[in-house]
Amino acid sequence: MEAQVLDSVLTATGLTPVLLDIGCSGPALPIWQPIKQYSYLIGYDPDDRDIDRGFGEGFRQAALVQAAVCDNDRDQTMRIVLTAHPSCSSHLYPNDPVLAHYCFHEFFEVKREVQVRATSLNRTLEELRLPQIDWIKVDAQGCDLRILRNLHQDAFDRLVAVDTEPGFHEYYQTEDQFHVIHDYLINNGFWLAQLDHQRYARTRPDTVRYLTDLVGAPSPAALLDRLGKSPTAAEARYLRTIEHVLRLPPRPRERAMLLLFAFSVLIKLPGFAADVMLAYQSVIGKDHNSALMEQALLSLLGAPTAVSPA
């Protein structure tokens, strides 16, 4: 049902959501699949060991930038610390005293350091001639907040949704942890719309090997599910507050409200989508888009009859 509603809203409005994926090893965010045919996807990853070769498939447009995203607009290259597991590579060094307590410590073993091409979000916007980013996923292995803070204020203000995956502990030296990122986004016009978390055993690797031998498990991996798991990192999704969107200039305000409605439907928050629709009506009026949103809500909420857009 949500897919049908999104089809009608995005087809009728002609909007092309601009989606940025920082740290795009593997496929694009699953939540983006229902809107991919309407969307422009831009992905970044300097480490080509684990990039999905089907990147951007099915999107209206897609661009893969094989570069690291830095926290300033000057650097053309930056250091990347390559680790045993590609998804743990970062600009930051692993924080061994913290990692030593966890079963995944070996994933962070440093293999080598390399200099890679670097860019910034601001440079990307300029080079691709994009006026805004609508939804950004930042999984920069400890650098999420510093990347967001470097975005020019006008572009930051137009952001509608942010996904971020910070740690609850300092797994990298000087890591941007969850509580700091959360406070920054909440204080700058976002609200926490969804929250999940990654879970792993807080058990030292030597202890895992000892227990593997003790119980006769075929391998350490076979034992991990029996050791208990604790939260290690957040998978947090933020949406703009209506109050923030209403302060934007007229043209970006209308776009942001329509996309805020669509994104709310996409992540199954029709109640907030209804708030957005009513705010749209109060500021812009009851026009074709307003009727379209109302029709969409009637469909989502299982109304016995639905009106057609004016």
User: How far from each other are the two terminal CA atoms of the chain, in whole angstroms?
Assistant: 21
Q: Is residue 306 part of a domain?
A: no
Q: What DSSP designation does 129 have?
A: T
Q: What is the pLDDT of residue 13?
A: 84
Q: What is the pLDDT of residue 307?
A: 46
E strands in the chain: 18-22, 40-44, 61-65, 68-69, 77-83, 110-119, 135-138, 161-164, 190-200, 230-240
- The β-bridge partners of 21 are 43, 137
- Give tens-digit pLDDT for 250-273: 989 999 999 999 999 999 999 999
Q: Is residue 204 part of a domain?
A: yes
Structural domains of the chain, count: 1
Three-state DSSP at 79 gives: strand
d(CA 156, CA 138): 14
Are 142 and 90 in contact, with CB atoms under 8 Å apart? yes
Q: Is residue 221 part of a domain?
A: yes
Q: What is the pLDDT of residue 119?
A: 93
Residues with Cβ within 8 Å of residue 220, at least 6 apart in sequence: 103, 205, 208, 209, 212
Q: What is the pLDDT of residue 308?
A: 47
d(CA 141, CA 171): 9
Q: What pTM does this model have?
A: 0.92
Q: Is residue 255 part of a domain?
A: yes
CA nearest to 90, candidates 69, 72, 61: 69
Cα–Cα–Cα angle for 56, 60, 63, rounded to 5 degrees:
45
Are 149 and 188 in contact, with CB atoms under 8 Å apart? no
d(CA 142, CA 94): 10
Q: Is residue 126 part of a domain?
A: yes
- The number of C-alpha atoms within 13 Å of 236 and in the hemisphere containing its C-beta is 24
Cα–Cα–Cα angle for 174, 147, 241, rounded to 5 degrees:
110
| Domain encompassing residue 153 | 2-300
CA 47, 53, 54, 56 dihedral sign is positive
State which residues of the chain have pLDDT below 70: 1, 24-27, 47-53, 303-310
Q: Is residue 310 part of a domain?
A: no
d(CA 19, CA 134): 6
d(CA 247, CA 191): 16
DSSP H helices in 63-204: 96-99, 121-128, 144-150, 153-158, 178-186
Q: Are strands 40-44 and 18-22 parallel, antiparallel or unpaired?
A: parallel
Q: Is residue 157 part of a domain?
A: yes
Are 258 and 15 in contact, with CB atoms under 8 Å apart? yes
Q: How many other CB atoms sit within 10 Å of the CB of residue 100? A: 12
Q: Is residue 309 part of a domain?
A: no
